[in-house]
Amino acid sequence: MSGNSFGTIFRITTFGESHGVGLGVVIDGCPAGIKIDEAFIQSELDRRRVGQSKVTSRRDEPDKVEILSGVFEGVATGAPICLIIRNKDADSSKYNNLKEVFRPGHADMTYQKKYGIRDHRGGGRSSGRETAARVAAGAIAKMVLGNEISIHAWTDSIKDIHCSTIDLEEVEKNIVRAADPIAAKKMEECILAARKNNNSVGGVVKIRVKNAPIGLGEPVFDKLDADLAKALMSIGSVKGVEIGGGFALTKMFGSESNDAVSKETGEFASNNSGGILGGISSGEMIEISIAVKPTPSIIQEQTTKNIHGKIVPITIEGRHDPCICPRIVPVAEAMVAITLADHLLRNRASKI
């Protein structure tokens, strides 16, 4: 299986399965001399971990990170950094009835057809648990970026409930990670109602990057927005990415969509481009939205096919999130951080 690596200079390779011994990541290209804060890596993993609230899966994983290589006395040596997170609470018995059945909305059928074999326990490699490795790598990417470049994500909507205000101080104060405390309560109620009805819901997560320097991005095929879109679309359950105004720009005239410069301030009067022009960061705030589909694992009986092509009923057991958005927030931040760290290092060779 290829496709487990991402990045050019700051390059990550994740490994492991949902119900295996553990999972982890090898980071190649982290500059020597970067201070590695293990407590910060753990705090980022704690934001993503299961069992953290009543709107997440009840699987209880501590997600304790272990640094196996590439760090000496708290500093990156320039050698590959290997991080591992061991599985402690996998219950594979809930998946015994799925050995020959494909779950609707999952990668079961496509993995089986492509490889002729699949790990049916929790989805194996296709499980959302793989994102723990990304979050660990993203924490180190944030250390490479430094404190000046800030990345903040939040749940902007769940189903048809939207944030009316954006207060980033509120994001870690509520269990749905919304930027609006009033909307957060309604979102929580919506998620819990879906869980009570053996169902699930999706939503939109937004990401903002402040103080990204001008010049990140490599035209033509490695545009910054193209790489950000790939990074975020690689997260399971993400089905759409918008940069800046996104699809709303299709309803505007050019005179409206262009980010003209204000005569009074000399600054851009709008940011419909989302901080990226011609695939290169403009110095404005980078703004991204991602569409997160409802969790495909639901307890309601559905109809599917088995490996013999027979149509059969299926009821999915196990412990699953009724909404993935709250836990995708730190994953989205991580993938943006990894992309920016890679382009920051690449940009050093852009001119003499």
- Identify the pLDDT of residue 285: 98
Distance from C-alpha of 265 to C-alpha of 248, rounded to nearest angstrom: 26
Give the tokens for residue 110: 């496509």
* Backbone phi and psi for residue 67, each to the nearest 5 degrees, phi listed first: -95, 115
Domain-located, residue 192: yes
Distance from C-alpha of 107 to C-alpha of 99, rounded to nearest angstrom: 13
Domain-located, residue 203: yes
Domain-located, residue 195: yes
Number of structural domains (the chain) is 1
* Other CB atoms within 10 Å distance of the CB of residue 62: 15
pLDDT single digits (tens) 124-174 = 899 889 999 999 999 999 999 999 999 999 999 999 999 999 999 999 999
- Identify the pLDDT of residue 120: 85
Distance from C-alpha of 208 to C-alpha of 304, rounded to nearest angstrom: 39
Domain-located, residue 164: yes
State yes or no: cis peptide before 329, omega within 30 of 0.
Answer: no
Q: Which helix (H) or strand (E) is 187 found in, with range?
A: helix 181-196
Q: How many residues does the chain have?
A: 352
| Side chain identity at residue 162, one-letter code | H
- Identify the pLDDT of residue 315: 85
| Side chain identity at residue 23, one-letter code | L
Strand arrangement of the beta sheet that strand 150-158 belongs to: 161-162, 150-158, 203-210, 286-292, 238-243
Query: 211 vs 215, 216, 217, 309, 345, CA distance in Å?
Result: 12, 12, 15, 53, 16
| Side chain identity at residue 135, one-letter code | V
Write the Ramachandran bin of 225: left for phi over 0, alpha for psi from -120 to 50, otherwise beta: alpha
Q: What is the CA radius of gyration of the chain?
A: 21
Q: State how far Cα 76 lies from the chain centre.
A: 25
Domain-located, residue 151: yes
Domain-located, residue 98: yes
Tell me the angle at which helices 38-48 and 131-145 cross, rounded to the nearest 10 degrees: 140
Domain span including residue 196: 5-347
Name, in order, each residue with C-beta under 8 angstroms of 343's C-beta and a sequence gap of 6 or more. Answer: 216, 217, 218, 224, 227
- Identify the pLDDT of residue 317: 77
Give the tokens for residue 158: 């769940």
Regions of the chain short of the pLDDT cut 70:
none
Domain-located, residue 352: no
What is the rounded end-to-end Cα distance, in angstroms, of the chain? 39
* Whole-structure pTM value: 0.95
Question: What CATH number is given to the structural domain containing 189?
Answer: 3.60.150.10
Domain-located, residue 281: yes
- Reported for 145-149, long-range contacts at CB under 8 A and 24+ positions apart, including other chains, are 145/337, 145/340, 145/341, 145/344, 148/211, 149/209, 149/210, 149/211, 149/212, 149/213, 149/340
